[in-house]
Amino acid sequence: MSVDLATVRRIAHLARIALRDDEAPHVQQELNAMLAFVEELNAVDVDGVEPMTSVIPMRLPLRQDVVTDHAGADVITANAPGAEDHFFVVPKVVE
């Protein structure tokens, strides 16, 4: 399987990575090289094989739904590129 330029642009948008028009053909070539590399997996017979969900057999632990380590809003927003009054600031999203 290989991807065309329109698909490359769609993937880039899904991944939220800006892609310049002049970069797209190179990215297409690289993605197709990787897809060619994984192509051999199509020859493996996987009928009746369960897909792996956990590499070590274990039961996922449950805990009480309570706050365990509330660090405080100062700490949570300390590294934000834009923060005001304990809120993350982003460009306007509603008119």
Partner 1 sequence: MTDVNTLTLAEARDAVQAKEISALELTQAHLAAMEKARALNAYVVETPEKALDMAKASDARIASGDAGPLEGLPLGIKDLYATQGVHMQACSHVLDGFKPQYESTVTSQLWRDGAVLLGKLNMDEFAMGSSNETSYYGPVASPWLPANWDAAQGREALKGDKKGLLVPGGSSGGSAAAVAAHLCLGATATDTGGSIRQPAAYTGTVGIKPTYGRCSRWGIAAFASSLDQAGPIARTVRDNAILLRSMAGHDAKDSTSVDMAVPDYEAAVGRSIKGKKIGIPKEYRIDGMPAEIESLWQQGIDWLRAAGAEIVDISLPYTKTALPAYYIVAPAEASSNLARYDGVRYGLRVPGKDIASMYENTRAEGFGHEVRRRIMIGTYVLSAGYYDAYYVRAQKIRTLIKRDFELAYANGIDAILTPATPSAAFGIGEKTSADPVEMYLNDVFTVTVNMAGLPGIAVPGGLSAQGLPLGLQVIGRPFDEETLFSVAEVIEQSAGRIKLPQAWW
CB under 8 Å to 51, separation ≥6 — which residues?
A: none
Q: Does 67 interact with partner 1 (rule: CB under 8 A)?
A: no
Q: Which amino acid is at 52?
A: M
Q: Which of 18, 22, 64, 85 binds partner 1 (CB under 8 A)?
A: 18
Binding to partner 1 (CB under 8 A): which residues in 28-57? Answer: 30-31, 33-35, 37-42, 44, 46, 49-56
CB under 8 Å to 77, separation ≥6 — which residues?
A: 83, 86, 87, 88
Question: For residues 18 and 67, which CB has a smaller minimum distance to partner 1 in the complex?
Answer: 18
Q: Which of 21, 22, 63, 67 binds partner 1 (CB under 8 A)?
A: 63
Q: What b/e sequence results for 23-59 when a residue is b if at least 16 CB atoms lie within 10 Å of its CB, and e otherwise?
A: eeeebbeeeeeeeeeeeeeeeeeeeeeeeeeeeeeee
Q: Which residues bind partner 1 (CB under 8 A)?
A: 1, 3, 7-8, 11-19, 27, 30-31, 33-35, 37-42, 44, 46, 49-56, 58, 60-61, 63, 71, 75-82, 88, 90-93
